[in-house]
Amino acid sequence: MEVIRPEGDNEWRHVCTQCRRVEYFNPRLVVGCIVEHQGKLLLCKRAIEPCRGKWTVPAGFLELSESTAEGAARETMEEAGAKVDILSPFMHLDIPAIGQAYLLFRARLAPPFTHSDATAESLDVRLFEPGAIPWRELAFSSVSVALRAYCDDAAAGREGSYHHGVIRKQPGSAPNDPSSFELVDSFCVRSRESGD
Low-confidence ranges of the chain (pLDDT < 50): 194-196
User: Which structural domains are found in the chain, ordered by start?
Assistant: 27-191 (3.90.79.10)
Which pLDDT does position 192 carry in this prediction?
63
Tell me the pLDDT tens digit for each residue of 79-119: 999 999 999 999 999 999 999 999 999 999 999 999 999 99
Which pLDDT does position 40 carry in this prediction?
98
Which pLDDT does position 194 carry in this prediction?
47
Assessment of whether the complete model's pTM goes beyond 0.85: yes
Which pLDDT does position 25 carry in this prediction?
76
How far, in Å, CA of 138 to CA of 29, rounded? 20
Which pLDDT does position 100 carry in this prediction?
95
Instruction: Return all residues near 132 (Cβ < 8 A) that are at least 6 apart.
Output: none
129 burial (CB, 10 Å; 0-12 / 13-18 / 19+) is exposed
